[in-house]
Amino acid sequence: MRRLALPLLLASLALAPAARAEEAPDGKATWGLLVDAGFPQGGSASAVFRPVPAIRVFAGPAWNWIGLGLQGGVAVVPWHFAVTPVLSAEVGRYFGSDVSFLADGSQGVPPEIAPLLEDVSYTYAAVHAGLELGSQRGLAFSLRLGLSYLSLQARGTATVTDAGSGTVVQFTDPRVRGTVPSVKLGVLYWF
């Protein structure tokens, strides 16, 4: 029962002002705080600004388990109910991080690859569509799904030598980019 207490409390806080939420924002709650987490964006805390009722812009620091970054974007909320559709687009960048600990032999990554993991950074852009549950003047939760474009850069040279043939293979500055499905959970509070 205790496990349910916190979600129920948060849900009640979110739904309590639902009646007011059906009204368009009156312009007073133009600033908010968004905390969200997802894949592949990681976690972030954003200041949110609502210049007009249907548009939000947000930006702030981001963190994933390998490093820190910055992110920002824009969201479109076409109308306002207790359950509101949200479309958003965002970009972010994680700065160079040392993830060579992954190549310590226990993670399945060959130790020879370690030099490539000492400076890894990535940039992403994402578009999401989802639903927001709660108030446009107070607390709201969101679940968004979409597509992310990733560009991951590793800097350095890895050298792998075949013990049998003596063949030496060197990889330098590999880069991976592509698209992956994306999911994001968020909590938004309007001041």
Partner 1 sequence: MRPTLAALSALALAACDGSLLFAEVQIPDLRITLPSQSFPAVAASLPTDWCDPAVSGNPQCLGITSDYDLGAEVPALAEQGVTYDLRLTRVAITLSAVQQAGAPPDLSGIESAFILVGHDPAVPGSGTVVASYQKPSPSATPTVIAVTGNANVDLGPYLDAGTLPVRVEVYVSSGTAAFDADITVGFSLVVNVDWGSYL
Q: Is 105 in the site for partner 1 (CB under 8 A)?
A: no
Whether 154 and 175 have beta carbons less than 8 Å apart is answered as: yes
CB nearer partner 1, residue 57 or residue 187 = 57
Q: Quick one: which of 76, 83, 131, 145 contacts partner 1 (CB under 8 A)?
A: 76
Among residues 119, 112, 103, which one has the least CA distance to residue 159?
A: 112
The binder of partner 1 chosen from 57, 174, 183, 187 (CB under 8 A):
174
Which helix (H) or strand (E) segment is 79 a member of? none
Tell me which long-range contacts 146-149 makes (C-beta under 8 A, separation of at least 24): 146/88, 146/181, 146/182, 146/183, 146/184, 147/179, 147/180, 147/181, 147/182, 148/40, 148/41, 148/124, 148/179, 148/180, 148/181, 148/182, 149/124, 149/125, 149/177, 149/178, 149/179
| Using rule CB under 8 A, residue 8 touches partner 1 | no
**Interface size with partner 1, residues (CB under 8 A):** 28
Q: Contacting partner 1 (CB under 8 A), which of 12, 83, 176, 191?
A: 176
Nearer to partner 1, 79 or 191 (CB): 79
Q: Which of residues 140-159 bind partner 1 (CB under 8 A)?
A: 147, 149, 157
Of positions 51, 78, 105, 111, contacts partner 1 by CB under 8 A: 78
List residues near partner 1 by CB under 8 A.
Answer: 54-55, 74, 76, 78, 87, 89, 125, 127, 147, 149, 157, 165-180
